[in-house]
């Protein structure tokens, strides 16, 4: 058997070990580019620096709120000692913006730039990502050890607790006698005849918060405070002292213009109610007429007319109307825009048509909101859509740190 002639050594001798020394287009271009690219970059940086441009060092365009600064990076960025990067400190943000604390007893407070990320284009800086909130809200520990909301709050659709207004046992504490069901019936007795009320008759949408319901704007047209059949005037919806003063003055003016009314009995109009004021005692002078009539008016107002809606505490010399304590907002820690929801009927979210008691809480539950605000499709469900981090009720005026020349020149 003949010996092998194809050996590894023989094969290795076929390889030219100096191949890399021979010129080759690929290696030539690699050398040229490795030299030319840094040179071109340096030339570009030099040209930009000569022109005063700071674009090469920017992470991207700033938000629309900060575009007034133009390329004046030093307005926000402060270069630290022995560092190349110019950081944005909280003090620089606070020179233009007040940032009230989130919670007085929170464990830690993130930096402004930790949640409000700049250089991402013309976006709204308050549009923070859910993960920025969940970093703390997934474990709501406090310095006092006492929970104020829940132990953990996560995504709106999976880990958000029920609204406080709709939790078990929640009741409307307003001291007012009001029945929504009666007011939503057809053919109500109105000032100009039969009428029908809609939600928007009393509740003005499109505002944040909803405009308050007042007697003058929403109740007076159907519930005028007439106090005497002889006088075509209504009592003011005001403090008892002012009501007494106004009605007494109206009676004095009437009897001065109609002295013949002294001693005349009032005409009987239909069946007399059980709680109707007793007939006036005989009077001989205008002063006696006013005094007796005023006492009768006060009994009528405070025992019937005003008591129809209010709780009255009888105490001399004038009664006391218990404050109604009507809430201006049911969700003080959330933000809601009725204008953005105007395509949805009021009764889709608020069960007012069947409500008979003032103590009924007519706010929607979280399940109602989740029908539209979903993760994968539907309306947005990010935290910032409804919540604000800062407690703006504690906001303080900011002392301006710039003048127009500093901002524009």
* Residue 367 in domain: no
How many domains does the chain divide into?
1
* Residue 280 in domain: yes
**E strand or H helix at 404:** helix 404-408
* Residue 101 in domain: no
Q: What pLDDT is recorded for position 281? A: 66
pLDDT digits (tens, 9 = 90+) for 6-26: 777 777 777 877 777 778 888
Q: What pLDDT is recorded for position 70? A: 75
CB atoms within 10 A of CB 254: 19
Is residue 242 scored above 60 in pLDDT? yes
Question: What interhelical angle do 240-257 and 286-300 show, nearest 10?
Answer: 140
- Residue-number span of the structural domain to which 262 is assigned: 240-321
pLDDT digits (tens, 9 = 90+) for 160-204: 999 999 999 999 999 999 999 999 998 888 878 888 999 999 998
The 3-state secondary structure of 223-250 reads CCCECCCCCCCECCCCCHHHHHHHHHHH
pLDDT digits (tens, 9 = 90+) for 252-264: 999 999 999 887 8
* Residue 282 in domain: yes
pLDDT digits (tens, 9 = 90+) for 228-238: 999 999 999 99
* Residue 40 in domain: no
Nearest to 136 by CA among 106, 105, 156, 100: 106
* Residue 294 in domain: yes
Nearest to 374 by CA among 387, 362, 385: 385
**E strand or H helix at 78:** strand 77-79
Tell me how far apart the alpha carbons of residues 338 and 364 are, in angstroms, rounded to a whole number: 13
* Residue 214 in domain: no
pLDDT digits (tens, 9 = 90+) for 22-71: 788 888 898 899 999 999 999 988 888 787 777 777 788 888 888 888 77
Tell me how far apart the alpha carbons of residues 159 and 69 are, in angstroms, rounded to a whole number: 40
pTM passes above 0.85: no
Q: Which residue has the higher pLDDT, 271 or 333?
A: 333
* Residue 357 in domain: no
Nearest to 388 by CA among 101, 156, 164, 113: 101
pLDDT digits (tens, 9 = 90+) for 297-341: 999 999 999 999 999 998 878 899 999 999 988 988 888 988 888
């Amino acid at each position: 058997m003949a010996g092998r002639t194809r050996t590894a050594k023989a094969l290795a001798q076929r390889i030219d070990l100096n191949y890399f020394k021979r010129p080759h287009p690929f290696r030539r271009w690699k050398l040229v580019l490795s030299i030319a690219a840094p040179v071109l970059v340096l030339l570009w940086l030099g040209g930009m620096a000569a022109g005063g441009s700071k674009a090469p060092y920017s992470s991207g365009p700033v938000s629309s709120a900060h575009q007034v600064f133009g390329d004046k990076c030093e307005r926000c960025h402060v270069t630290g000692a022995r560092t190349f990067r110019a950081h944005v400190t909280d003090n620089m943000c606070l020179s233009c913006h007040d940032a009230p604390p989130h919670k007085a007893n929170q464990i830690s407070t993130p930096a402004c730039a930790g949640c409000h990320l700049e250089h991402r284009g013309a976006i709204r800086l308050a549009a923070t990502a859910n993960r920025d909130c969940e970093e703390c809200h997934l474990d709501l520990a406090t310095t006092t050890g006492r929970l104020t909301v829940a132990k953990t709050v996560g995504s709106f659709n999976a880990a958000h607790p029920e609204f406080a207004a709709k939790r078990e046992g929640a009741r409307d504490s307003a001291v007012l006698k009001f029945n929504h069901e009666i007011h939503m019936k057809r053919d109500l007795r109105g000032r100009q005849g039969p009428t029908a009320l809609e939600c928007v008759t009393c509740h003005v949408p499109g505002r944040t918060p909803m405009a308050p319901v007042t007697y003058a704007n929403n109740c007076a047209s159907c519930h005028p405070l007439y106090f005497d059949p002889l006088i075509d005037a209504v009592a003011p919806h005001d403090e008892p002292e002012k009501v007494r003063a106004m009605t007494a003055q109206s009676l004095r003016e009437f009897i001065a213009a109609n002295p013949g009314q002294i001693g005349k009995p009032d005409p009987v109009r239909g069946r007399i109610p059980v709680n109707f004021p007793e007939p006036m005692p005989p009077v001989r002078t205008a002063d006696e007429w006013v005094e007796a009539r005023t006492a009768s008016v006060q009994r009528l107002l405070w025992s019937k007319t005003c008591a129809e809606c209010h709780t009255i505490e009888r105490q001399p010399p004038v009664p006391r109307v218990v404050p109604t304590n009507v809430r201006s907002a049911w969700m003080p820690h959330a933000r809601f825009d009725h204008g953005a929801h105007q395509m949805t009927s009021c009764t889709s979210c608020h069960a007012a048509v069947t409500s008979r008691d003032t103590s009924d809480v007519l706010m929607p539950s979280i399940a109602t909101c989740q029908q539209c605000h979903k993760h994968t499709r539907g309306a947005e469900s990010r935290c910032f859509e409804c919540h604000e981090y800062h407690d703006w009720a504690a906001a303080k005026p900011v002392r301006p740190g710039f003048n127009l020349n500093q901002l524009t020149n």
